[in-house]
């Protein structure tokens, strides 16, 4: 038997675009909330045009030529209405939507929505229980007018400084990770605010910035700076505090090996046929291994050269040593499928036809509920019905 969706009955007014905000609202939609996405007439969310790659349906001459995979990946389970916030009638509809919503999420430059009567104070006056979330790049004070792009935040916030080869340039992460982290932080804030409203009846104003979310995610690297005065630098695939914890070469390619304690290192050396290495004074403890990392790498790679990365992954995993081949995204999804994690879902159009597969929401529930699986909407797909509802 399936249970009701956790956020069933919650209405979200989505005034966000690009990635952090849409990811947050899609997460709420995956959990059962009704999400109404407000888009610009004629153009919609910027990411509708961020291709290639284009979705399979967009590649079809009869399909939606505005829809890129970027857009579709963070906008499923939503309704789309095109409203021109410079048009008095559409602005009235937008205000009405905000007045009805449990949650409002926006990522305009600070001050923009205040000037048209859609800021927090305006909305809360009509809707005192509203949870109003503003997503910014650099906050609403000194950084209010700085556009928030993930790439820029990775550079300014120090993430690029600790990413890449030691002798190379600072390097961005291969996905817009700061946007993703910020979207998840926004969801945490919304869920906490919903719980507080349930207890007190009070709404909340929430602000989350890309820079703050990045800095909150720097974890041990920020702690090293603040607690020990250490300035972390780029180390490629090596870990600043653990060894071995990096890619090591096997007979046919690299293998990621992560030994988080001395016991795992002992199992690693035994499996590699070099058990005496664990008793070598240079490698007896983790601190010793970090201090003698180059010599350790040479010894391990000499043993790993005897077999393939796939063979070593199987052998090491069997004895409790964390190890994995460096594959691509397709390899990762296939591996998750073999483990029974069911990493993807099929999404469908309003008529029930398939619109391909997407990565599912990562949380599993017990008792289970059946999450919606609607494909991202076409621009203004639900516009007539929503305008009629807001005009009533």
Alpha carbon distance 53, 305 (integer Å): 38
Cβ atoms within 10 Å, residue 66? 18
Distance of alpha carbon 234 from alpha carbon 381, whole angstroms: 46
Name the active-site residue from 179, 262, 331, 391: 179
3-state secondary structure 93-144: HHHHHHHHCCEEEECCCCCCCHHHCCCHHHHHHHCCCCEEEEEECCCCCCCC
| CB distance 246 to 236 below 8 Å | yes
Question: What DSSP state is assigned to residue 257?
Answer: E
CB 172 within 8 A of CB 57: no
Element at 25 (helix H, strand E): helix 20-30
Q: DSSP string spanning 54-72?
A: BPHHHHSTTS-TT-BHHHH
Pairing of strands 323-325, 344-348: unpaired
Instruction: Compute CA distances 96 → 37, 100, 108, 158, 231, whole Å.
Output: 14, 6, 19, 41, 50
Note if 30 is an active site residue: no
CA distance 302 to 296: 10
The catalytic residue positions are: 179
């Amino acid at each position: 038997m399936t249970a009701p969706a956790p956020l069933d009955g919650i209405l979200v007014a989505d005034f966000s675009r690009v990635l952090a905000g849409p990811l947050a609202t899609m997460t709420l939609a995956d959990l059962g909330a009704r999400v109404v996405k407000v888009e610009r007439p004629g153009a919609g969310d910027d990411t509708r045009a961020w291709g290639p790659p284009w979705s399979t349906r967009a590649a079809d001459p009869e399909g939606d030529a505005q829809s890129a995979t970027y857009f579709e990946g963070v906008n499923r389970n939503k309704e789309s209405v095109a409203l021109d916030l410079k048009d008095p009638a559409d602005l009235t509809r937008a205000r009405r939507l905000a007045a009805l919503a449990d949650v409002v999420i926006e990522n305009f430059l600070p001050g923009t929505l205040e000037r048209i009567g859609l800021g927090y104070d305006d909305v809360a006056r009509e809707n005192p229980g509203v949870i109003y979330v503003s997503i910014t790049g650099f906050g609403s004070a000194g950084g209010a007018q700085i556009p928030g792009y993930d790439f820029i935040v990775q550079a300014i916030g120090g993430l690029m400084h600790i990413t890449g080869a030691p002798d190379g340039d600072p390097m961005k992460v291969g996905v817009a990770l700061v946007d993703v982290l910020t979207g998840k932080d926004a969801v945490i804030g919304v869920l906490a605010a919903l719980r507080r409203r349930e207890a007190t009846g009070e709404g909340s104003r929430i602000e989350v910035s890309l820079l703050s979310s990045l800095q909150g995610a720097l974890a041990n690297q920020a702690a090293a700076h603040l607690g020990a005065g250490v300035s972390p630098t780029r180390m490629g695939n090596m870990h600043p505090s653990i060894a071995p914890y990096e890619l090591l070469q096997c007979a046919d390619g690299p293998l990621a090996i992560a030994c988080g304690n001395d016991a795992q290192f002992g199992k690693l050396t035994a499996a590699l046929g070099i058990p005496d290495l664990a008793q070598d004074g240079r490698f007896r403890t983790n601190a010793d291994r970090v201090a003698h990392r180059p010599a350790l790498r040479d010894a391990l790679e000499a043993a790993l050269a005897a077999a393939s990365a796939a063979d070593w992954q199987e052998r090491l995993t069997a004895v409790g040593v964390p190890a994995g081949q460096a594959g691509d995204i397709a390899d990762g999804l296939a591996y998750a499928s073999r483990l029974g994690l069911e990493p993807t879902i099929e999404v469908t159009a309003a008529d029930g036809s398939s619109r391909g597969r997407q990565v599912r929401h990562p949380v599993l529930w017990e008792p289970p509920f059946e999450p919606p699986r609607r494909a991202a909407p076409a621009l203004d797909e639900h516009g007539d019905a929503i305008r009629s509802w807001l005009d009533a």
